[in-house]
Amino acid sequence: MCQPLPNRRDALKAALAVTAGSLLAGRIALAEAVVTPAGPQGTYALPLASYPTLRNVNGSVVATIPGATGIQSRLVVTKTGTTTYAAITATCPHEGSTLGTYSAITQRITCPNHGAQFSPTGTWLGGQDTSNATAYTAVLDAAADVVRITLSTITANEDDEAVAALGLTAAPSVVRTSTTVRFRLAAPSPVRLSVYDLLGREVAVLLDTPSASGDVSATWDASTATSGVYMLRLQAGTLRTQTSVRVTR
């Protein structure tokens, strides 16, 4: 049986529908294809030798990240599995207080000021009502014995040739009384060399000068420091790097 031919009005409506559908599909495809740049990113290598707690599942630390700014300058880093890690800002999204570390007992990261609670990956779980905490990609590099954390505000990291050229070292690295820190500057630069504990507190300033160049050294008298790991952080102009020492008693 022959079907009746569509009239001109129906044919026009059908054509318009096809055209509109094609345009909409094109707009959707375009929207999916256009990606807003996330800004320059760098990878900070968090040394496990300096944070031995992170070798254990559920181990968690608040780490200060040299070269990062804003809410990325301090992170809560947690080992969530045999080879997996998570990193979130240590700045509570409620009122900017510093978060605690992950507790395997409560299975939460808790803000000590107002009680907001988060998962290791930043999901808000209860307590003070607020948004999720900002999370960052953290990947184990077993060969280098570091956790590499991707950030957007970092200005320098251990992989940069200019940073590597500083040659920051501390000897001895296991300290009872003192250690000597050495580095080299290819050109005159302002320098600040300081010592931090693993809670991110500055415990000593070894150098703070508007200009230094060539081979530079400084001694840290650690005779009054308690046992533990300390970070020696160097800022030379726009370059930042660090190394660690362990104080034993």
- As given in the structure block, the two tokens for residue 109 are 């990261």
Model confidence at 153: pLDDT above 90: no
Residue that wins the pLDDT comparison between 241 and 198: 241
The 3-state DSSP class for residue 34 equals coil
Per DSSP, 9 falls in state: H
pLDDT in tens, 155-179: 444 446 677 788 888 899 889 999 9
pTM greater than 0.85: no
Model confidence at 41: pLDDT above 90: no
Model confidence at 139: pLDDT above 50: yes
Neighbours of 116 (CB within 10 A): 25
Alpha-carbon gap, residue 183 to 145, rounded angstroms: 23
Residues whose CB is less than 8 angstroms from the CB of residue 97 and which lie 6 or more positions away in sequence, other chains included: 91, 111, 112, 113, 114
- As given in the structure block, the two tokens for residue 102 are 């992950």
- As given in the structure block, the two tokens for residue 55 are 């070798």
60 to 68, 79, 188: CA distances (angstroms): 20, 6, 39
pLDDT reported for residue 160: 60
The 3-state DSSP class for residue 147 equals strand
Name the CA dihedral angle for 19, 20, 24, 26, rounded to a multiple of 10 degrees. Answer: 20
Model confidence at 207: pLDDT above 70: yes
Residue whose tokens read 């395997």: 104
Closest CA to 66 of 46, 91, 89: 46
- Of 53-62, 167-176, 212-221, the range with the lowest mean pLDDT is 167-176
Alpha-carbon gap, residue 106 to 87, rounded angstroms: 18
Alpha-carbon gap, residue 39 to 132, rounded angstroms: 21
183 strand-pairing partners: 216
234 strand-pairing partners: 193, 241
Confidence of residue 39 (pLDDT cuts 50, 70, 90): very low
Are 74 and 66 in contact by the 8 Å Cβ rule? The answer is no
Closest CA to 148 of 44, 40, 76, 41: 44
Q: What does the DSSP assignment read for 53-65?
A: GGGSTT-EEEEE-
- As given in the structure block, the two tokens for residue 206 are 């070894």
Model confidence at 79: pLDDT above 60: yes
Residue that wins the pLDDT comparison between 189 and 65: 189
pLDDT in tens, 102-121: 999 999 999 999 999 999 99
Closest CA to 200 of 64, 94, 76, 73: 64
Average of per-residue pLDDT across 124-146: 91
Structural domains in the chain plus CATH codes: 42-151 (2.102.10.10), 161-247 (2.60.40.1930)
